[in-house]
Amino acid sequence: MAREKGTIGILTGGGDVPGLNPAIRAVTIRALREGYKVIGIRRGWAGLTDLVPDKDADNSANYHELTEEVVNRAGRTGGTFIHSSRTRPSHLPKAMVPPHLADLYTDEINDITPTIKKNIEWLGLDYLIPIGGDDTLSYGHRLHQDGIKIVGIPKTMDNDVPGTDYCIGFGTCVTRTIEMAHTLRTSAGSHERFLVIEVFGRYAGFTALLPTMAGAADRCVIPEHPFDAEHLTEILSYDRNLHPSKYAVVLVSEGATMAHNDTMSFKGDEADQYGHKKLGGIGDKVAAELKRYSPKYNNGRRVNVVSQRLGYLVRCGDPDALDSIVPMAFGNLALDLILNGTSGRLVSVRNGTYDNVPLDVVVGTKKVVDVDKYYNAVRFRPFYHSFNRRPTFIMTSDI
């Protein structure tokens, strides 16, 4: 088929999730059949950062042309076969500046956007489709402001991209969390313990709240509301005493904080180019507090705790049904916009309907759980109000 309409670039940035490859497949197959050439930018924004604009240079690590054969094979798998990174071209550390640009960018932190734009032009990209969370998409918005035609696709298992009720990766994350929480119950029940499960969620508690609503846990604590550890112990002790096997389960978002200490729990001090430190450890802190307070609510006897961080187990492997279907729709929605000559948009799901919103929704705002509407902060559980005419995932984006 003659390719006459132009060239579309596609990249994936930030953490991997199941559903990225189906999205790449959907974009590529539709674009090829509509007469476009498709370029896969490798390693997110890093591919455009490291690219050497010379036809004789080896850029195989930075981009490659996508075909139906390649994407059909990859589309059945998890992760992203064009790879990902957390590179931020507007805030690139000197140590990350490619050797061929070392004389051009000499500051400790550099904005290499002029080079990124030149590389996009050298590749002949008419449109660029970044798939990512608000960090990856925020740089896409920057390029859009500079005249690059951008159509964004939301991806993050935390489901915290503003403007959409659903992000690629969220369905599989919820599915895996429910499955693993039920699996871990056998250990908690066998030893009559509290079960603390730490799940993803830096600023937003959707990955803890929705599985709890589905019965994966008795209680949950989320980043949007600091919690009192002793009160949580009292509530979980009540749950434990009601259960025939004498155990209780709580899901803890990795970004949750205790009322007496509002500092998030980090694995170390190193931050990525978007300023984020790696979270981890709040689950163990909650477990220690439950053990400490438990004698007060268990006739003087301590209750031991099983503490488990799910981590990458919910973001690896193949996508579930939803993360196979939604990326297909998102990819085709992106092509619909391109075929109409529209850019600067983010494809979305709003109240159960596919749509698109202005890309600028991803900058300056955070999508978090509306505590007053969805979370009973006294009882550490979701509100079970009327579900009549609510969308599938209950908690919508009000932005």
Active site residues: 158
Q: Which long-range contacts (CB under 8 A, 24 or more apart) does 318-321 make?
A: 318/18, 318/76, 318/77, 318/78, 319/18, 319/19, 319/21, 319/22, 319/78, 319/171, 319/172, 320/18, 320/171, 320/172, 320/175, 321/171
Distance (Å, whole) CA 389 – CA 32: 38
What is each CA distance from 381 to 38, 131, 180, 250, 378, in whole angstroms? Answer: 46, 32, 19, 9, 8
Q: Which long-range contacts (CB under 8 A, 24 or more apart) does 94-99 make?
A: 96/49, 96/273, 98/49, 98/50, 98/52
Nearest residue to 332 via CA among 66, 31, 75: 31
Residue 263: Cβ within 10 Å count = 7
Distance (Å, whole) CA 117 – CA 75: 29
DSSP 3-state of 92: strand
- Two tokens at 296? 């007060």
Nearest residue to 320 via CA among 161, 176, 148: 176
Asked if 64 and 40 touch (Cβ cutoff 8 Å), the reply is: yes
Tell how many helices (H) and how many strands (E) occur in the chain.
11, 17
Tokens 């579309």 correspond to 8
Residue 20 CA neighbour count, 13 Å, CB half: 30
Distance (Å, whole) CA 44 – CA 137: 11
